């Protein structure tokens, strides 16, 4: 009977939920037509020792340059793995990597177009621990992989979205 009471404690330890805010900086082809937007996100994570797995959602609304009516929204789901390569009792530095999938919608006046693309993430951050809860400040490089037409052939095009963000996650 005592093992059944211990099971929920073991299953729920290490789980947290939280959010992040930040600023994104478009690179590559996005930088030509878009300004730097705010970035908002939510996540659910699981930590075990130095490792952390996170399922996250991020939204960035990229405005057009020079107050144009052009606008692009990017919604992205990610699954990342983080490893604290320098860990102290109350803080540490973490490297993250993982795949994602983005849905984009761009609009100009009444016209709109949608698209989707897989992505890869590579990040580095500072983490402060308060028990299993955490505060973070980090850099992230999202690379969207898409197909681009070049005459009669198609080629792979990479689009970059760099971001700096601050986040908080509470353990339950």
67 has a pLDDT exceeding 70: no
Instruction: Give the burial string for 143-170 (b: 16+ CB within 10 Å, else e).
Output: bbebeeeeeeeeeeeebbbbbebebbbe
Domain coverage including residue 116: 14-171
pLDDT score for 63:
83
- Report pLDDT for 13: 67
pLDDT more than 90, % of the chain: 46
Residue 28 lies in a domain: yes
- Predicted pLDDT of residue 3: 56
Residues 6+ apart with CB under 8 A from 164: 22, 23, 137, 138, 139, 140
The C-alpha atoms of residue 3 and residue 157 are separated, in whole angstroms, by 53
The answer, yes or no, to whether residue 8 has pLDDT greater than 60, is no
Average pLDDT value over all residues in the chain: 85
145 or 76: which leads in pLDDT: 76
- The reply to whether 26 falls in a domain is yes
Q: What is the CATH number of the domain that holds 77?
A: 2.40.160.20
Residue-wise pLDDT tens digits, 75-98 = 999 999 999 998 888 899 999 999
Say how far apart CA 108 and CA 65 lie, in whole Å. 12
Instruction: Output the furthest CA–CA distance in the chain (Å, rounded).
Output: 69
pLDDT for position 17: 93
Cα separation, 134 vs 79, whole angstroms: 18
Mean pLDDT of 35-39: 85
* pLDDT given at position 11: 53
Percent of the chain with pLDDT over 70: 89
Say whether pLDDT at 108 is over 90.
no
Structural domain includes residue 8: no
117 lies in some domain: yes
> By the 8 A CB rule, do 41 and 56 touch?
yes
Q: Which of 18-32, 51-65, 101-115 has the highest mean pLDDT?
A: 51-65
d(CA 151, CA 172) in angstroms, rounded, equals 54
The two three-digit tokens of residue 156, written as one number: 């792979």
Q: 88: which residues sit within 8 A by CB, 6+ positions away?
A: none
Output the CA angle 67-69-70, nearest 5 degrees.
Answer: 100
CA gap 75, 19 in Å, rounded: 15
Domain membership of residue 85 (yes or no) is: yes
Gap between the Cα atoms of 45 and 105, Å rounded? 28
Tally of domains within the chain: 1
């Amino acid at each position: 009977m005592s093992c059944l009471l211990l099971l929920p404690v073991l299953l729920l330890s290490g789980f947290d939920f939280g959010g992040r805010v930040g600023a994104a900086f478009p690179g590559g082809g996005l930088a030509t037509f878009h300004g730097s937007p705010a970035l908002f996100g939510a996540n659910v994570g699981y930590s075990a020792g130095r490792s952390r797995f996170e399922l996250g959602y991020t939204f960035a609304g990229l405005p057009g340059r020079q107050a144009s009516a052009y606008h692009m929204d990017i919604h992205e789901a990610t699954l990342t793995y983080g490893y604290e390569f320098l860990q102290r009792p109350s803080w540490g530095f973490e490297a993250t990597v993982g795949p994602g999938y983005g849905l984009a919608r761009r609009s100009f006046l009444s016209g709109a177009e949608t698209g989707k693309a897989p992505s890869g993430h590579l990040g580095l951050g500072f983490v402060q621990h308060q028990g299993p809860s955490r505060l973070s400040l980090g850099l992230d490089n999202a690379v969207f992989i898409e197909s681009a037409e070049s005459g009669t052939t198609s080629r792979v095009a990479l689009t970059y979205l760099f971001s700096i963000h601050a986040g908080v996650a509470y353990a339950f």
